[in-house]
Amino acid sequence: MEAKFISYRKESYSEIETIIRSIEHLDYMNKRRTVRDFSSKPIPKQIIENIIMAASTAPSGAHKQPWTFCVVTNPELKSKIKAAAEEEEYESYNGRMPKDWLEDLSYLGTDWHKPFLENAPALIIVFKKSYDLINGQKRNNYYVTESVGLACGFLLEAIHYCGLVALTHTPSPMNFLIKLLERPENEKPFLLIPIGYPAENTMVPDLKRKVENEVIKFFK
Ligand code: IYR
């Protein structure tokens, strides 16, 4: 395909305005927390569509956008997902996860029970497309994990921006989702993200984020 270029203009700001924006944005991002207790208040479909389309603006290898976002609001299907996820998680917490891992998680207070899979008004299950299937023909995708990871990051920011909360849940293994959601052979489950409004009096762990010199190395 021949490249076609169009002109692109990006709004920019004075240095002081840029500094202020960076501080405000950091402060805003620092307010995002993973939430495990959801109110059952539904989310209008339009909002879910818009946050997913914001996620789908993420950069991807060769602009293949190798992702599918499945949205589940149906209570029966949510219950099936919960039952299957809890079956796997029970095994994980009772033998599959090594002692160190369980110790690292203990301050989060997680266990094999996953009530949020029924309580959250919507579950977004993100699938990565290892390759595309176009009229039965396989077409390569590139940097699929990086691309889908970026899209999930964009999704979490969009959720936060709208005043909603989410949880990045990784039941393991996740293959039951392929069956329950009848996904084609080229799609693999990547993350399960319940979204909604926080329940009243939601508590979150008192965690601290790393400071500048722990995550940044400047080179002269
Ligand atoms: N998938 C399990 C365990 C779990 C693992 C990590 I790493 C976490 O940060 C949190 C939980 C679960 O969802 O409970």
pLDDT tier at 46 (50, 70, 90 boundaries)?
Answer: very high
* Residue 214 in tokens: 């722990």
Question: pLDDT tens across 163-211, in order?
Answer: 999 999 998 899 999 999 999 999 999 999 999 999 999 999 999 999 9
Segment 75-83 mean pLDDT: 98
* Residues whose CB falls within 8 Å of the CB of residue 172, separated by 6 or more in sequence, listed in order: 88, 89, 92, 96
Under 8 Å between Cβ of 177 and 117: no
Q: What is the DSSP string of 84-138?
A: HHHHHHHHIIIIIS-HHHHHHHGGGT--S--THHHHSSEEEEEEEESEEEETTEE
Which residues pair with residue 169 across a beta bridge? 192
Question: Is the CB of residue 172 below 6 angstroms from any atom belonging to ligand 1?
Answer: yes
Question: Is the CB of residue 106 below 6 angstroms from any atom belonging to ligand 1?
Answer: no
For the 34-199 domain, the top CATH level (class) is: alpha beta
Domain residue extents for the chain: 34-199
Could you give the 3-state DSSP secondary structure of residue 204? coil
What is the whole-number distance in angstroms between the Cα of residue 169 and the centre of ligand 1? 7
Question: Is the CB of residue 89 below 6 angstroms from any atom belonging to ligand 1?
Answer: yes
What is the whole-number distance in angstroms between the Cα of residue 9 and the centre of ligand 1? 42
Question: Is the CB of residue 110 below 6 angstroms from any atom belonging to ligand 1?
Answer: yes
Closest-CA residue to 164 (of 53, 71, 41, 67): 41
pLDDT tier at 2 (50, 70, 90 boundaries)?
Answer: confident
The pTM assigned to this predicted structure is: 0.96
